[in-house]
Structure 1
Amino acid sequence: MRYLGSRTGREALVQVGARALSTSTLIADIAALRRDFGDRAAVLVETVQLRRRALAKLPGSAQWLFTDAALQQATAATVAAHRARRLAGRTVHDATCSIGAELAALKDHAEFVLGTDIDAVRLAMARHNVGPSVPLCRADALRPVTSDAVIVADPARRDASGRRFDPRAYAPPLDDLLEVLRGRDFAVKCAPGIDFTAVEAMGFDGEVEITSMRGSVREACLWSRGLGAGVRRRATVLDSGEQLTDADPDDCGVAPAGRWLIDPDGAVVRAGLVRHYAARHGLWQIDPDIAYLSGDRLPAGMRGFEVLEQLAFSERHLRQALWARRVGAVEILVRGVDVDPDVLRKRLRLRGPERASVLITRLGAKASSRATAFICRPSR
């Protein structure tokens, strides 16, 4: 770490960064770099490769230092900026600052920000990455060194064996962290698939915000009651800037499919705000237990699927219908049925010049439920 941050190390990284380090050149590049840098060639190559991977997630990080695990968990800059804006004007303590991704956003919005981490190497990388203006010190998140600041924390959800799905296996454990933070304002980042019921059983009574970006659900953030604006669920779609909460109206009906089908953003679905989304956009549900929505008009800016044909789902019937339409390429979306889109696509053995989208879902309750396929034309 000291070498990478030194003038000699920075110059070496520039030299290594001039190489392709591609699949076809990597062996030859490493052999040449070992002649120049000896045993340090490996860490130099790794750092350059991590920097290249980081640019899409963390624009402006071309000179940062990383570990592979830290980069994987680092909050994307756009998501971190959104959280920082919610904390504008506050004193904020990032208690698991790692390499500094959250700090980089917080220092542009918070009144005052400081960072701590238990890992000395990551803390040194944070110092390099965010510069001297942010106070940093080594500390355990379960023993916060502040008393009045808003705590931001991102417990580690990976170890050498892979992802940790049980929040009590986070590092630090989520139940222990929530107990330490009881009575304080905080924002704790969690995996998007976290069990809401399990979190409530730990005593959490604030807001869960589900955030998506570029069509992918990125995280769940637990906001303490004092920061949660009186709501329990929030969906934030960063691409459009749209936000929904459980305080919004949810009076939407249930009716057969109209001209358009809409698959709501994953943040809306994960936050349980499908009905709220439908009510806002003048849509209805095609089944009370299924997230697909419908409408006779496609709201501006929304991707939808124009219904061409509806049929009882079976592979044979679907294949015949797609062949009749000369469909050779198909997008398959599934909700509420045990169908693997990739396997089904191969089994359909399609051929032809046309493209289509197929939405497969289950309509109806219990014994009267039926798997239904909609052959559609996507709006884009």
Structure 2
Amino acid sequence: MGYPFTIDDVDYLRSDEGAAALAMVAGSELSTRTRLADIGRARARFGERAGPLIETVLLRRKAQAKLVDADSWLFTGDALQQATPRVVARHRGTRLTGRRVHDVTCSIGTELSALIELTDVAIGSDLDPVRLAMAAHNVPGATLLRADALHPCTRDTVVVADPARRSDGKRRFDPAASMPPLPDLLDVYAGRDLAVKCAPGLDFDRLGWDGEVEIVSLDGGVREACLWSPGLSDPGVRRRASVLRSDGTAWQITDTEPDDIPEREPGEWIIEPDGAVVRAGLVRHYAARHGLWQLDPRIAYLTGDRVPEGVRGFRVLTRLGYTEKALRRELAARDCGSAEILVRGLDIDPAVLRPRLKLRGTTPLSVVLTRIGHAPVAFVCAARN
């Protein structure tokens, strides 16, 4: 549980005095080795202000991976945990360019900061006065309101929402337990143009959503899902995977593309699609785009005779029916000294299996363990650089 910021804390941190104090505390190492001494010095100098100063400096350091200008922002711990990375927020904002947008759960303003640059009008609202005060600092010039997301207070706007899935550092997995509850939010804004950020692991069919579900990854890690109402979606699109990189490159695939792929024996390479493609249920569509096919219709590993640009592949050296003994023997014969182990469709923990393989050689290899039909198989591979 992080420091409980108050309005008075935020006012102080936004002041010239607070900014100068933050700069001084930011010069402290605040590592595990020095933290007690650093905190003692801060308390001796700043008294009761030491808490919000130290917490803000630590949160700014954690935020560097999400925001390029994190050193000037104010955060709470929970708000930072849920904050949208800048690259993802701008990606979403580009779909709303030229629209009037109301972020009804604006929190500290990470989404709003992208929207205000890309849209005609961007309004933010939240129930939490502390987060609103932080948003006023983080997004200068933004129009901010204190309002309940479940009580609409604007008209003719696209509604953007990000229901809180964390409280006191703990993640909520039930969409009805988010704040505000996701089902209630969808009911309140039924018929409105709506974009809702949510967890990528939800059962969207069970949720009953009749618009588009977009799964977004950033630098190889799945970050979030976004529900787009029909008025904000391309015709016919129900599922989309968006694969983003911090260097600005991106690509997308949707369920309107062909998904016809051949049934063939494994090719020269095994390819693991980006997690956004897998979560969006677009593995076959991705395979069809790149001339690949599946190892097994129920497994997300793909295979083919070439590897798509920018994707990691594993060149197959040999295939064998999987048993631990057979795999250990094969790796020993290939002088394997270290093995990257990837598993889909089998109940195997790579961390448990690896020491039992007793690798003593010098060659690094990759092992793909999966199931084809009902048979467990192992592919010993050389990883593509």
One-letter amino acid of the structure 1 residue matched with residue 167 of structure 2 = D
Q: In the alignment, what sits opposite 1:222?
A: 227
Is structure 2 residue 242 aligned with structure 1 residue 233?
Answer: no
- SS of aligned partner of 2:348: coil
> What is the alpha-carbon distance in structure 1 between the residues aligned to residue 230 and residue 272 of structure 2?
31
- SS of aligned partner of 1:44: helix
Q: Do 2:271 and 2:302's aligned partners in 1 also have CA atoms closer than 8 Å?
A: yes
> What is the alpha-carbon distance in structure 1 between the residues aligned to residue 200 and residue 102 of structure 2?
23
Is structure 2 residue 156 aligned with structure 1 residue 151?
Answer: no
Determine which of 213, 216, 226 is the counterpart of 1:211: 216
Q: In the alignment, what sits opposite 1:164?
A: 172
Q: Percent identity?
A: 59
Count of matched residue pairs: 372
Q: Do 2:61 and 2:70's aligned partners in 1 also have CA atoms closer than 8 Å?
A: no
- SS of aligned partner of 2:273: coil
Q: Deviations over 1:223-280 (max 9, x none)?
A: 0010011210000001251111000011111221110010000000000000000000
One-letter amino acid of the structure 2 residue matched with residue 269 of structure 1 = V
Structure 1 unaligned spans of 5+: none
Q: In the alignment, what sits opposite 2:343?
A: 334
The alignment's TM-score, normalised by the length of structure 2, stands at 0.95
Is structure 2 residue 36 aligned with structure 1 residue 27?
Answer: yes
Determine which of 345, 355, 376 is the counterpart of 1:371: 376
One-letter amino acid of the structure 1 residue matched with residue 363 of structure 2 = E
Q: Do 1:255 and 1:287's aligned partners in 2 also have CA atoms closer than 8 Å?
A: no
Structure 2 unaligned spans of 5+: 1-9
- SS of aligned partner of 1:16: helix
> What is the alpha-carbon distance in structure 1 between the residues aligned to residue 27 and residue 317 of structure 2?
53
Q: In the alignment, what sits opposite 1:350?
A: 359
Tell me the CA shift for residue 160 of structure 1.
3.1
Q: Do 2:77 and 2:169's aligned partners in 1 also have CA atoms closer than 8 Å?
A: no
> What is the alpha-carbon distance in structure 2 between the residues aligned to residue 301 and residue 266 of structure 1?
14
Tell me the CA shift for residue 300 of structure 1.
2.4
Q: Do 1:65 and 1:125's aligned partners in 2 also have CA atoms closer than 8 Å?
A: yes
Tell me the CA shift for residue 353 of structure 1.
1.3
> What is the alpha-carbon distance in structure 1 between the residues aligned to residue 137 and residue 307 of structure 2?
48
Q: In the alignment, what sits opposite 1:10?
A: 19
1:304-315 to 2 correspondences below 5 Å: 304-315=313-324
> What is the alpha-carbon distance in structure 2 between the residues aligned to residue 178 and residue 301 of structure 1?
37
One-letter amino acid of the structure 2 residue matched with residue 52 of structure 1 = R
Determine which of 64, 70, 73 is the counterpart of 1:55: 64
> What is the alpha-carbon distance in structure 1 between the residues aligned to residue 85 and residue 153 of structure 2?
26
Determine which of 131, 136, 142 is the counterpart of 1:134: 142
Determine which of 89, 92, 103 is the counterpart of 1:94: 103
Q: Which moves more between the two structures, 339-348 or 6-15?
A: 339-348
Q: Do 1:209 and 1:236's aligned partners in 2 also have CA atoms closer than 8 Å?
A: yes
Tell me the CA shift for residue 343 of structure 1.
1.1
Q: What RMSD in Å do the two structures reach over aligned CA positions?
A: 1.0
- SS of aligned partner of 2:107: coil
> What is the alpha-carbon distance in structure 2 between the residues aligned to residue 58 and residue 345 of structure 1?
37
> What is the alpha-carbon distance in structure 2 between the residues aligned to residue 246 and residue 281 of structure 1?
15
Tell me the CA shift for residue 299 of structure 1.
2.3
Is structure 2 residue 334 aligned with structure 1 residue 325?
Answer: yes
One-letter amino acid of the structure 2 residue matched with residue 174 of structure 1 = L
> What is the alpha-carbon distance in structure 1 between the residues aligned to residue 267 and residue 151 of structure 2?
56
The alignment's TM-score, normalised by the length of structure 1, stands at 0.96
> What is the alpha-carbon distance in structure 2 between the residues aligned to residue 328 and residue 144 of structure 1?
61
Q: Do 1:210 and 1:220's aligned partners in 2 also have CA atoms closer than 8 Å?
A: yes
> What is the alpha-carbon distance in structure 2 between the residues aligned to residue 308 and residue 186 of structure 1?
49
> What is the alpha-carbon distance in structure 1 between the residues aligned to residue 114 and residue 361 of structure 2?
50
Q: Deviations over 1:335-364 (max 9, x none)?
A: 111111111112212122111111111111
One-letter amino acid of the structure 2 residue matched with residue 15 of structure 1 = M
Q: In the alignment, what sits opposite 1:286?
A: 295
- SS of aligned partner of 2:118: coil
- SS of aligned partner of 2:311: coil
> What is the alpha-carbon distance in structure 2 between the residues aligned to residue 126 and residue 300 of structure 1?
40
- SS of aligned partner of 1:106: helix
- SS of aligned partner of 1:212: strand
Tell me the CA shift for residue 327 of structure 1.
1.1
> What is the alpha-carbon distance in structure 2 between the residues aligned to residue 313 and residue 148 of structure 1?
59
One-letter amino acid of the structure 2 residue matched with residue 172 of structure 1 = P
Tell me the CA shift for residue 52 of structure 1.
0.8
Q: Deviations over 1:38-86 (max 9, x none)?
A: 1211211110010011011111121100001000000011000100001
Tell me the CA shift for residue 161 of structure 1.
6.9
One-letter amino acid of the structure 1 residue matched with residue 211 of structure 2 = G
Q: In the alignment, what sits opposite 1:70?
A: 79
Determine which of 223, 241, 260 is the counterpart of 2:269: 260
- SS of aligned partner of 1:62: helix
Is structure 2 residue 112 aligned with structure 1 residue 103?
Answer: yes
> What is the alpha-carbon distance in structure 2 between the residues aligned to residue 245 and residue 373 of structure 1?
31
Tell me the CA shift for residue 198 of structure 1.
2.2
